[in-house]
């Protein structure tokens, strides 16, 4: 009987230890989320910031958003942007991880230091450099491309059209995100058994077969969580787009969800509508990450 009681007490210990962390999480994230849901159902503008009561309009903000074609253009653009950048970031990061795993100690240290320097650079400082690189008058990118025979890039404005604007934005976001993916994937690669790879090589497996048949399945959990995080981060990208807009055009054709919410809340002073869009972003994030969450639940059941 005593052993049974002790076992029950031990089973409760992990749950008791989780209570402080769960409490902090609920207070830190639960209150802002509840406030945002309430605000999304109110007419909350500039007057409400000075004490005027905010009238409830319930789902009127959501209905107005559903009928707004500009919002859905921004949503489609944001989802396409985050998926493209996340896929390219994952591919480049895994390739760099494989390179770090294949080269010697000295080249690996040089590569890791380079990635750490890129990763640790403050966003604003990095954006200042990138904006200078793509500057139409003094940019190094136009200067180097203009040196190629048959290519005329003199004073070419990369930030003038949405297509080239988002190409530049994608390059910057990928460059800033690749180090995290590379280091995470490299950590996963260190857990792959060298004996298994050598045995597969002796059996005649090619490098491609070893990667897709052995390495990829073993680091799949790492890649899955890294890819999910990249989708979430790239969906909410804000600073890079805002600074590029400051250097180029502030048209709504250059907006993603982060800048669209900022313009609604800060510039238009329509905090109710901005909160409604924020709730929509939360719903999109949950929908995009549901596939990974479902796979985790299936693994727990098994």
Q: Kindly report the length of the chain.
A: 302
| Same domain for 142 and 62 | no
Which residue range(s) make up the domain with 278? 33-67+270-302
What does the pLDDT read at residue 149? 87
**Residue at 21 is within a domain:** no
- Token digits for 44? 């909350």
Exposed/middle/buried for 94, CB within 10 Å: 0-12, 13-18, 19+?
buried
Question: How far apart are the C-alpha atoms of 183 and 193, rounded to whole Å?
Answer: 18
Contact 43, 272 (CB under 8 A): yes
| Same domain for 148 and 110 | yes
Q: How far is CA 191 from the centre of its chain?
A: 26
**Residue at 199 is within a domain:** yes
**pLDDT tens digits, the chain, 302 residues: what are they?**
555 455 655 677 777 888 888 888 888 888 888 888 888 888 887 777 777 777 888 888 888 888 989 999 999 999 999 999 999 999 999 999 999 988 888 999 999 999 998 888 899 999 999 999 998 888 889 888 888 888 888 888 999 899 999 999 999 999 999 999 999 999 888 888 788 878 878 877 787 888 888 888 888 888 888 998 899 899 989 999 999 998 888 888 899 999 999 988 887 788 888 889 999 898 888 887 787 777 766 765 66
Domain containing 89 — which CATH number? 1.10.3720.10
**Residue at 152 is within a domain:** yes
| Same domain for 235 and 187 | yes
| Same domain for 296 and 211 | no
What does the pLDDT read at residue 126? 92
| Same domain for 288 and 159 | no
| Same domain for 241 and 280 | no
**Residue at 281 is within a domain:** yes
| Same domain for 288 and 238 | no
- Measuring CA to CA, which residue among 85, 104, 102 is closest to residue 178? 85
Contact 161, 179 (CB under 8 A): no
3-class DSSP state of 56: strand
**Residue at 20 is within a domain:** no
**Residue at 140 is within a domain:** yes
3-class DSSP state of 240: helix
| Same domain for 86 and 171 | yes
Answer left, alpha or beta for residue 103, where phi above 0 means left and psi between -120 and 50 means alpha: beta
| Same domain for 181 and 53 | no
| Same domain for 282 and 204 | no
- Measuring CA to CA, which residue among 205, 200, 175 is closest to residue 92? 175
Contact 146, 138 (CB under 8 A): no
- Measuring CA to CA, which residue among 245, 294, 286, 283 is closest to residue 267? 245
What's the total number of domains in the chain? Answer: 2
What does the pLDDT read at residue 65? 87
Question: How far apart are the C-alpha atoms of 168 and 240, rounded to whole Å?
Answer: 10
Q: Which residues 6+ apart lie within 8 Å of 269 measured at CB?
A: 45, 46, 49
| Same domain for 156 and 57 | no
**Residue at 137 is within a domain:** yes
**Residue at 179 is within a domain:** yes
In DSSP terms, 119 is beta-bridged to none
Phi and psi dihedrals of 147, rounded to 5?
Answer: -80, -15
| Same domain for 87 and 113 | yes
CA 162, 83, 234, 260 dihedral sign is positive
What does the pLDDT read at residue 80? 94
């Amino acid at each position: 009987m005593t052993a049974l009681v002790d076992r029950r007490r031990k089973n409760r210990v992990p749950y008791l230890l989780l209570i402080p962390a769960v409490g902090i999480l609920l207070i830190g994230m639960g209150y802002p989320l509840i406030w945002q849901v309430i605000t999304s159902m109110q007419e909350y503008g500039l007057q409400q910031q000075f004490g005027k009561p905010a009238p409830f309009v319930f789902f009127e903000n959501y209905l107005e958003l559903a009928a707004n074609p500009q919002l859905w253009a921004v949503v489609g653009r944001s989802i396409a942007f985050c998926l493209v950048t996340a896929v390219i970031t994952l591919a480049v990061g895994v390739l760099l991880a494989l390179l770090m795993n294949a080269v010697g100690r000295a080249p690996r240290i040089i590569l890791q230091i380079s990635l750490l320097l890129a990763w640790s650079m403050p966003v604003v400082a990095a954006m200042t450099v990138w904006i200078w690189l793509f500057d139409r008058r003094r940019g190094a990118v136009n200067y180097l491309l203009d040196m190629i025979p048959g290519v005329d890039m003199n004073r070419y404005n990369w930030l003038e059209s949405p297509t080239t604007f988002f190409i530049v934005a994608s390059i910057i976001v990928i460059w800033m995100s690749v180090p995290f993916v590379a280091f995470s994937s490299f950590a996963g690669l260190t857990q792959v058994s060298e004996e298994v790879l050598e045995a597969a090589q002796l059996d005649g497996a090619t490098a491609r077969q070893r990667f897709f048949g052995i390495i990829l399945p073993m680091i799949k959990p790492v890649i899955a969580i890294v890819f999910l995080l990249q989708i979430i981060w790239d969906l909410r990208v804000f600073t890079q787009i805002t600074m590029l807009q400051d250097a180029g055009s502030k048209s709504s054709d250059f907006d993603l969800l982060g800048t669209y919410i900022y313009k609604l809340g800060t510039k238009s002073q329509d905090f109710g509508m901005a909160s409604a869009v924020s709730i929509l972003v939360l719903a999109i994030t949950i929908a995009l990450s549901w596939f990974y969450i479902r796979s985790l639940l299936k693994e727990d059941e098994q």
